[in-house]
Amino acid sequence: MGRRAFGTLRKLPSDRWQASYLGPDGKRHNASSTFTTKKAGDDWLTRVDASIQTGDWSPTPEHAKTLTVRAYADIYLARRNLRPSTVDGYRKLLDGLIFPQLGDVPMAGLTPPLIQQWHDNLNPKRRPSHAANAYSLLSGLCNMAVRQDQLLKTNPCAIRGAGRKTVAHEVIPATELEVDLMAEAMPGRWRLAVLIAAWCGLRQGEILELRRGDIDLKDAWIKVTRNAPRVHGQSIPGPPKTKKGVRDAPIPPFLVPAFEHHLETFVGPGKDALLFTAAPLVKARVPVAARVPANTPGTNHLSPSTLQDWWEKARAAAGRPDLHFHDLRHTALTWWAQHGATTGELQALAGHENSQIALRYQQATRERLKALAATL
């Protein structure tokens, strides 16, 4: 038997070679025929390995007949170049909403009536967006099964509008006074996070991954190069949500003193020191050096759940219990649009891939001006 980095070669009594490998679905697959030489089997395994790396791998016809939704989901996720946070989100949808009813069903056994029954049985108390996301994920999985592996003749996900998410939260931008009140209600160590979101338009994950070296107070810029989504309870630093997310965000001049105070008071030395940490607040009066947390790159991040706990108190203090933390980003972009930012400038500020998203904030501003004109 010959072992290699990928797959296994075994010489048979007939002097022919049998090749096998462990597939992305976690099961062992044999070549449909044996090989006259070891090199031929080795070349075949090399091609299979390459197909797995490029996402072009398909199960053998014999195995495909019994391939379950649970097993095919592993193949689906392995083929796609997804961010860890996206994979984690998909896994939660699969484990929580798809697998309980459909996990052990063969892919070839998925039918429109079965999909309809699954959709009807989804917990009605769940947020509508969860059901829509689960349906979209299942539909994408079935699309791959149709187009790439021929496990299905047509996509059985045929429920009209099931993947469409309804807007359950209408954002009313905060006022400057409300932002000030919310910032003041936050612990001093995290107050600047509210101001960055409301005036600079950064995403929450981008804010929680900011480090001393990302802040240029001389020219008043924030270098946004990373994001820190939570995966299995841990912050996983990585690139921003979109390619356009790598950007420089301007700091309004009036915020520079707040940055200076925060860096001096709450941020450790070194360019890799996190701006916002999970270290508990120090109530006693102690020297600045004693209050500075010893940050290590990739550790001690302030968790979104901790930020959320304090954010709920802060928004209540400002009389805005409806406001999500992400709505501060919406607020920032609306303010910039009101002050004359073009579509391209809004897109650059926010790191949006699509200019149509930036247009929403300009449209909101135009609607507001129209409403004001009606009161004259």
- What positions carry a catalytic annotation? 203, 326, 329, 352, 361
**Contact, 312 vs 180, CB < 8 A?**
no
Cα radius of gyration rounded to whole Å, the chain: 26
The identity of residue 185, as a single letter, is A
Count H helices and E strands in the chain, helices first: 16, 9
Residue 363, Cβ neighbours under 10 Å: how many? 11
| DSSP assignment string, 264-314 | HHH--SSTT-BSSB-PPP--S---HHHHS----TT-SBPPHHHHHHHHHHH
Residue tagged 């939660």 (tokens)? 92
| DSSP assignment string, 172-231 | -PPPHHHHHHHHHHS-GGGHHHHHHHHHH---HHHHHT-BGGGEETTTTEEEE--B--EE
CA distance 32 to 342: 60
Packing angle, helices 355-375 and 327-338, rounded to 10: 70
Helices (H), 55-98: 61-64, 69-79, 84-93
